[in-house]
């Protein structure tokens, strides 16, 4: 028996990380030829965008796919980033688990140090050809160019050829790799992936040349870079027992109070002392002497002590304005008829890691009414193309009762049907992916709950739009019928009795009995022309207040047809309409200048001081117009109370403004 044990011991040896992934490449997203090609583009583009943003450079990324032979393609990705110094090129492109972001607590696309090196390895395995890299930094006259292969046993790159060459770019990196793959079109394609990248990275310009050679460009929607993220220290609420012991072992702090204060975020010296008091640990104890029981005491004490939530400047959400603008830019305005105002939730925490959920909904237009809605899933500004069913995003969508918001949903659960696109973006310092291929977000309760709340808030805006459109459509049909039939009856009757045709305007207003609100925004090259028309189809004189949300500092005061009665917070504007006689039309008009076309493309119009049942075409606002947290019922009162499950139960016919939980 002893000899057998010795023989088995001789067979045991260490496996390098490169060898492991070489034999298990499906874990990294190379489990099919189609997916392998998309993964190669994905990892390369992620690297390019991260490099540009770290350097504060507006990304200009070129992606090219050339067909070399049957199932062999050459993928080329070039950027205008800061470039890579010569000695780091082999490590960046030819060494797995090597990078600068793994230990960084800040929002990043790539964190594991696997991505682009795995692409080099896959290309080498499937074609036997080296990867080619060219990189230039701004303070050098020439670029460094090399061809690399990976030694998987040593997890090191070997340069087959290298040289310094002339390159006209001021700075940037070009990466070329040959690999086995399959180029397809459709929902899960390279084009769709890059379209998704363009939506959640509106500051990037992406040029894509597919194998047929017809280049297409996703132009940037904004010239503004995302705000830079700042690295933060771990929050004590998310620390594990072993992690705490390890941190105590290697800290430079000499006392437990300074250890807690310097190694964690949101722990002041006062809070540190409070934690140590509860854990019954001396303030002056050396952290290196922390034992298992004491570490457990600190973990328990952290749960009892009130500690501020994690800092959020480590996150870089897209923002409500840019989500809408980018969707219009990439999808095209004719594709959909309504872009619901997106929702960016307040930051929340899971396991000590801050995260933000953003949601946008697109509706109508050319979108199919018979198919399931399209779902755009994103994590840290990266599209998630596969494993949709396993993702917390999809599960959050399936848990919402979309029938309440105007979409078909069989059985009240599952993915809804209808002409809509649902966008969900999760940004965090640590996205809990289900696997190394980073295609699905794990079903973390805190994240899924935030996704559901954001979806409901955005869906309520969609429902308000649909209700308003339906009500206006029915009234318009009624009005058109009345406008045609009543004059015909008047003419026939007058002819029969031999009298002049009477004035029937008053009769029409009695039948209609509404104040019709018609608003529009027309943009030319220099300004937006805003118009709100009020048609008094009631038998009595009306007066009311008109409220709008708009950037008032951009209003050309000379163009105002009526001076506002009040301007609050620079954006909430109120006009007093003192008199509109029956059958009269009142127009409120003004121009906005210095505003981008997509920044203001729809009016938010509200009315107050009038019977809500008399208004068609605008939302009714009760007394104090705090638009952040208001629910409106048909009789003009406030509605909505929290139920046991944390949702809001709305009165029938209620319209919601703002984001209630």
pLDDT at site 430: 85
Neighbours of 448 (CB within 10 A): 20
Q: Which of 122-126, 205-209, 244-248, 621-625 has the lowest mean pLDDT?
A: 621-625
How far is Cα of residue 265 from the mean position of the Cα atoms in its chain? 26
Contact between residue 417 and residue 403 where contact means Cβ atoms under 8 Å apart: no
pLDDT at site 27: 60
Place 313 in a pLDDT band, splitting at 50, 70 and 90. Answer: confident
Bridge partners, residue 418, by sequence: none
User: What SS3 class is residue 361?
Assistant: strand
Place 110 in a pLDDT band, splitting at 50, 70 and 90. Answer: low
> For residues 505 and 494, what is the distance between their CA atoms, to the nearest angstrom?
16
Report the run of H or E that residue 207 belongs to, with start and end. strand 205-209
pLDDT at site 29: 62
Is the model's pLDDT at 249 over the cut of 80?
yes
Going by DSSP bridges, is the β-strand pair 566-568/619-620 parallel, antiparallel, or unpaired?
Answer: unpaired
pLDDT at site 77: 95
Going from the C-alpha of 183 to that of each of 38, 44, 255, the distances in angstroms are 9, 17, 59
Is the model's pLDDT at 628 over the cut of 90?
no
Is the model's pLDDT at 257 over the cut of 50?
yes
Is the model's pLDDT at 645 over the cut of 50?
no
Place 24 in a pLDDT band, splitting at 50, 70 and 90. Answer: low
Report the run of H or E that residue 76 belongs to, with start and end. strand 72-79
> For residues 286 and 353, what is the distance between their CA atoms, to the nearest angstrom?
27
Q: Does the 236-304 domain belong in CATH 1.10.8.50?
A: yes
User: What SS3 class is residue 407?
Assistant: coil
Is the model's pLDDT at 643 over the cut of 70?
no
pLDDT at site 333: 62
Phi-psi region of 343 (alpha: psi -120 to 50; beta: other; left: phi over 0): beta
**Hey, which CATH number is domain 464-658, 3.30.420.40, 3.90.1150.10, 3.30.160.100, 2.60.40.290?**
2.60.40.290
Question: Rounded to a whole number, what is the distance in angstroms from the first to the last CA of the chain?
Answer: 67
- Please give the residue that has the higher pLDDT: either 534 or 464: 534
- Please give the residue that has the higher pLDDT: either 353 or 60: 60
- pLDDT tens sequence across 324-356: 888 888 887 657 788 888 999 988 888 778 899
Closest CA to 50 of 81, 88, 90, 89: 81
> For residues 552 and 11, what is the distance between their CA atoms, to the nearest angstrom?
76
Report the run of H or E that residue 20 belongs to, with start and end. helix 17-23
Place 587 in a pLDDT band, splitting at 50, 70 and 90. Answer: very high
Is the model's pLDDT at 653 over the cut of 60?
no
Is the model's pLDDT at 658 over the cut of 70?
no
Place 4 in a pLDDT band, splitting at 50, 70 and 90. Answer: confident
Contact between residue 122 and residue 179 where contact means Cβ atoms under 8 Å apart: yes
Is the model's pLDDT at 642 over the cut of 50?
no
Stretch 267-280: mean pLDDT? 93
pLDDT at site 9: 64
Place 422 in a pLDDT band, splitting at 50, 70 and 90. Answer: very high
Q: Which CATH architecture has domain 320-463?
A: 2-Layer Sandwich (3.30)
Closest CA to 63 of 240, 179, 205: 205
Is the model's pLDDT at 81 over the cut of 80?
yes
Give domain limits for the chain. 17-218, 236-304, 320-463, 464-658
DSSP assignment string, 634-661: TTS----EE-TTS-EEPPTT-EEEE---
Is the model's pLDDT at 101 over the cut of 80?
no
Is the model's pLDDT at 271 over the cut of 90?
yes
pLDDT at site 125: 85
pLDDT at site 248: 92
- pLDDT tens sequence across 524-547: 878 999 999 998 888 889 999 999
Could you tell me which CATH number the domain at 17-218 has? 3.30.565.10
Neighbour-count burial for 160-173, b at 16+ CB within 10 Å, e otherwise: eeeeeeebebebbb
Record the tokens describing residue 543, joined without a space: 């007066």
Please provide the average confidence, as pLDDT, over all residues in the chain.
82
- pTM comes to 0.74
Phi-psi region of 498 (alpha: psi -120 to 50; beta: other; left: phi over 0): left
pLDDT at site 534: 92
- Please give the residue that has the higher pLDDT: either 530 or 322: 530
- Please give the residue that has the higher pLDDT: either 483 or 462: 462
> For residues 601 and 607, what is the distance between their CA atoms, to the nearest angstrom?
20
Contact between residue 180 and residue 189 where contact means Cβ atoms under 8 Å apart: no
Burial class of 226 by CB neighbour count within 10 A (0 to 12, 13 to 18, 19+): middle
Long-range contacts of 261-269 (CB under 8 A, 24+ apart): 263/233, 263/234, 264/233, 264/234, 264/235, 264/236, 264/239, 265/232, 265/233, 265/234, 265/235, 265/310, 265/311, 266/235, 266/236, 266/307, 266/308, 266/309, 266/310, 266/311, 267/236, 267/307
- Please give the residue that has the higher pLDDT: either 297 or 464: 297
Report the run of H or E that residue 462 belongs to, with start and end. helix 445-497
Closest CA to 584 of 542, 531, 530, 532: 542
Is the model's pLDDT at 291 over the cut of 80?
yes
pLDDT at site 447: 93
Going from the C-alpha of 383 to that of each of 190, 331, 425, 633, the distances in angstroms are 11, 15, 9, 39
- Please give the residue that has the higher pLDDT: either 504 or 194: 194
Q: Which residues are CB-contacts of 170 (< 8 A; sequence separation ≥ 6)?
A: 80, 136, 138
- pLDDT tens sequence across 128-164: 899 999 999 998 999 999 998 887 777 777 888 989 9
Bridge partners, residue 588, by sequence: 532
Place 482 in a pLDDT band, splitting at 50, 70 and 90. Answer: confident
Contact between residue 423 and residue 376 where contact means Cβ atoms under 8 Å apart: yes
pLDDT at site 580: 92
């Amino acid at each position: 028996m002893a000899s057998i044990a010795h023989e088995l011991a001789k067979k045991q040896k260490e496996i390098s990380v490169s060898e492991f992934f070489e034999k298990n490449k499906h874990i990294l997203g190379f489990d099919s030829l189609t997916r392998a090609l998309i993964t190669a583009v994905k990892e390369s583009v992620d690297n390019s965008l991260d490099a540009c943003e770290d350097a504060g450079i507006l990304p200009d990324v070129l992606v090219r796919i050339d067909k070399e032979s049957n199932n062999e393609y050459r993928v080329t990705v070039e950027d205008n980033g800061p470039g890579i110094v010569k000695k780091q090129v082999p490590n960046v492109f030819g060494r797995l688990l090597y990078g600068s972001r793994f230990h960084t607590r800040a929002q990043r696309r790539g964190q594991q140090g696997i991505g682009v090196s795995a692409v080099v390895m896959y290309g080498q395995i499937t074609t036997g050809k080296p990867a080619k890299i060219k990189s230039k930094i701004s303070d050098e006259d020439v670029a460094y160019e090399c061809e690399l292969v990976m030694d998987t046993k040593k997890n090191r790159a070997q340069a087959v050829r290298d040289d310094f060459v002339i390159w006209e770019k001021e700075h940037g990196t070009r990466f070329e790799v040959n690999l086995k793959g399959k180029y397809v079109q459709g929902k899960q394609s390279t084009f769709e992936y890059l379209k998704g990248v363009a939506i959640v990275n509106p500051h990037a310009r992406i040029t894509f040349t597919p194998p047929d050679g017809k280049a297409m460009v996703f132009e940037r929607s904004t010239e503004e870079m995302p705000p830079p993220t700042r690295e933060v220290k771990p929050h004590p609420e998310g620390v594990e027992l072993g992690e705490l012991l390890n941190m105590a072992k290697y800290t430079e702090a000499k006392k437990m109070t300074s250890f807690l204060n310097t190694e964690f975020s949101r722990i002041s010296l006062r809070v540190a002392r409070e934690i140590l008091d509860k854990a019954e640990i001396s303030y002056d104890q050396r952290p290196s002497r922390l034992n298992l029981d004491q570490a457990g005491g600190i973990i328990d004490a952290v749960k009892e002590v009130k500690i501020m939530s994690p800092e959020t400047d480590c996150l870089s959400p897209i923002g409500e304005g840019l989500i809408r603008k980018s969707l219009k830019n990439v999808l095209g305005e004719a594709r959909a008829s309504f872009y619901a105002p997106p929702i960016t939730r307040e930051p929340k925490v899971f396991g000590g890691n801050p995260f933000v959920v953003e949601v946008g909904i697109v509706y109508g237009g050319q979108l199919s009414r018979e198919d399931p809605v399209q779902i755009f899933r994103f994590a840290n500004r990266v599209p998630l193309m596969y494993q949709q069913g396993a993702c917390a995003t999809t599960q959050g969508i399936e848990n919402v009762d979309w029938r309440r918001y105007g979409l078909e949903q069989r059985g009240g659960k599952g993915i809804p049907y209808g002409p809509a696109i649902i966008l969900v973006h999760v940004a965090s310092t640590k996205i809990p992916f289900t696997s190394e291929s980073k295609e699905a977000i794990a079903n973390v309760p805190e994240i899924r709950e935030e996704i559901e709340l954001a979806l409901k808030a955005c869906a309520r805006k969609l429902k308000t739009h649909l209700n308003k459109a339906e009500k206006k459509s029915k009234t318009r049909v009624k009005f058109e019928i009345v406008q045609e039939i009543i004059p015909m009856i008047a003419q026939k009757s007058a002819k029969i009795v031999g009298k002049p045709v009477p004035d029937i305007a008053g009769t029409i207003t009695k039948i209609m009995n509404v104040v019709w609100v018609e608003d529009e925004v027309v943009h030319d090259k220099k300004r937006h022309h805003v118009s709100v028309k009020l048609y008094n189809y009631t038998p009595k004189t009306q007066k009311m207040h008109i409220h709008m949300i708009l950037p008032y500092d951009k209003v050309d005061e000379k163009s105002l047809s009526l001076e506002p009665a009040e301007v609050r917070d620079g954006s909430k504007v109120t006009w007093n309409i003192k008199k509109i006689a029956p059958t009269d039309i009142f127009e409120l008009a003004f121009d906005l200048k210095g505003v981008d076309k997509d920044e203001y493309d729809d009016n938010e119009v509200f009315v107050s001081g009038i019977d809500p049942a008399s208004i068609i075409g605008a939302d009714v606002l009760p007394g104090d117009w705090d638009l952040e947290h208001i629910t409106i019922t048909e009789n003009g009162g406030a509605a909505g109370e929290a139920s046991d499950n944390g949702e809001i139960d709305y009165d029938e016919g209620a319209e919601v403004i703002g984001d209630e939980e």
